[in-house]
A and B are shown apart, each in its own frame.
Chain A
């Protein structure tokens, strides 16, 4: 499973959606449930899964599946 697909499933879990409802292009704009509080749930899960620590800037910027995947790859462990 790609990093994007893993993250999409974690986003679905955080938002209370089925994994099929969150595509690889999902963003906090495209999904109503993805508000700033749920975003913190997503951040914690992504950090835990990939063993990385995101800075407050990362958290503010990483508001889509693809942006989070880029952050994960950037930190080295990448899936």
Chain B
């Protein structure tokens, strides 16, 4: 029986690869099981955990579920939906129907207090009867009541909170329905509570093959879902868990032949290239991904000038060469192309989302670069646009800065050209007309500030990750938060620096100091530190303590503190501690045009 042979072979391949520490090969086999043999979910969930234990693959996430139904059978589906993308949840469940009490009372649920992410999983039927004439009112009141419990919880916890939307089917979209009333009222409340989100189940269920919900099953067993429903529930949840777990894609790398267009350029010639409706939808999806903050790149085996010419002139293409931050079009391997793209764009290889119609190319990349997100090819190219836009690692584009990213990349290209043409590094820096601008933390930049702590890896002294709620809590607890924006004559780099400081009389401690790699090489860190010191001096601080905690990625800032007047205090296996008298910290470099340039953002 071919199904059995395939399942046997994939299970053995996964076990074998895990035993040998071949993460890429193990993920390839587990991914194939997940895509082609959905009944293997229990096996895949255990295998992913075993792979994580054996090889350190993936990051773990403590997820606690407050629920009013039978949630247990969803757990392996959730583990796989997020785990296959590198975020492996450790799931704990609260007692049946203990939701508000747990949220409001710190002693009710110990596992809740320790969670990084909390999911509130309820269905409309749990608190309202659709047939009840008062159902809309009751649904709205329930949303407000739940939001109140969440506000109480938020006062003592910075955990990200996700709440399942109760819209499950087409009829629920009717604005007069109780489901709409609940979801809309709750969404409005959640917009004012940091680090919360509504999980959109309806969109995921819409794509289900057959019905996702079985009401008879829900009544008899407390468990409402069909196998398809369980799978769709988990993938809707994964779209939140994967970014929270740190596995975001910053770049979508697309193939050309068979992916961006129909036809093989090298064989069919430019006249043989057709952008079918499905391919056009995919091209539009790439533009949507860019609007959400992802960069675009191309990796293709083709003649570069021919391919770029077709991309630039084919009448049916809706993406053009300027839409792509870079391309690797040639005859080398895709894995090499991806490595080079990541290096050129100054991002980690594990922030690439690779889209390619050829199964052998996808397999090669999965094996060679296990951290790359490889898009599972849908059943037919008709499903490609949706597969891309629904991928859990794609940014949701919530901050205004995400949307302006394409402009930033273009400005970078102009800067690189100016640098290549200038006489010396010093003349180049002086010609940039650099300014450092300071911003106070507020509702408009809170999202970007939190994002900086989560995404900045290279120039980050202590790599302490904080979500919006935690950052707000730091400021409210009396900590000093300094946000820095860098602008030059080519454009605004946006918010690129963050410092978090706690002050205790004359001594201050630098909890966090980070800078986006976008502004490396300008000594912007010197200018930021000089500004920070001036502020600390004004409140009577004379000494500043700081530490460097080494990680795999933050080598670039290892020497920052010694180079800025700090002397060594202590060193152990966690990191290195330093201290500086404020007068020993150097002033801002001359190309940050004097004191006048340090000012408040307009």
Q: Flag if A37 contacts B217 (CB, 8 Å).
A: no
Q: A45-B39, A53-B214 are in contact. Are A40 and B221 (CB under 8 A)?
A: yes
Task: State how many angstroms separate the Cβ of B225 from the closest Cβ of chain A.
Answer: 8
Alpha-carbon distance between A6 and B11 when the two chains are bound, in angstroms: 14
Q: Is A10 an interface residue (CB 8 A)?
A: yes
Q: Are A16 and B227 in contact (CB under 8 A)?
A: no
Nearest neighbor of B220 in chain A, beta-carbon distance: A56
* A55 in contact (CB, < 8 A): yes
Chain A residues with CB below 8 A from B46, complex form: 13, 16
B216-234, CB under 8 A of A: which get 1 and which 0? 1101110101110010000
**Separation of A73 and B31 alpha carbons in the complex (Å):** 30
Q: How far is the CA of A49 from the CA of B4 in the complex (A)?
A: 11
Contact at B227–A48, with CB atoms within 8 Å?
yes
Q: Choose among B4, B216, B220, B227 the residue that contacts A6 (Cβ–Cβ < 8 A).
A: B4
Interface string of A1-40 (1 = CB under 8 A from B): 1000010001001101000000000000000000001001
Tell me, rounded to whole Å, the shortest Cβ–Cβ distance linking A31 to chain B.
15
CB distance from A61 to the nearest CB of B (A): 12
Q: How far is the CA of A22 from the CA of B92 in the complex (A)?
A: 27
A interface size (C-beta, 8 A): 21
User: Do the beta carbons of A13 and B43 come within 8 Å of each other?
Assistant: yes
Q: Contacts A56-B216, A56-B220 known; A47 to B227 CB distance under 8 Å? A: yes
Q: Are A40 and B73 in contact (CB under 8 A)?
A: yes
Q: In the complex the two chains form, is B42's CB within 8 Å of A45's CB?
A: yes
Inter-chain contacts of B4 with A (CB < 8 A) = 1, 6
- Hey, which chain B residues are within 8 Å of A16, CB to CB? 42, 46
Within 8 A of A (CB), among B2-58: 4, 38-43, 46
A48 touching B39 in the complex, CB below 8 Å, given contacts A40-B223, A53-B226, A56-B221 = yes
A53 to B217, CA, bound (A): 11
User: 7 A-B contacts, Cβ less than 8 Å apart?
Assistant: A40-B221, A44-B227, A45-B227, A47-B226, A48-B227, A53-B226, A56-B217
Residues of B bordering A, CB below 8 Å:
1, 4, 38-43, 46, 70, 72-73, 76, 214, 216-217, 219-221, 223, 225-227, 230
Given contacts A13-B40, A44-B230, 11 further A-B contacts (CB under 8 A): A10-B39, A14-B42, A16-B46, A44-B225, A45-B42, A45-B227, A47-B227, A48-B41, A48-B227, A56-B220, A60-B220
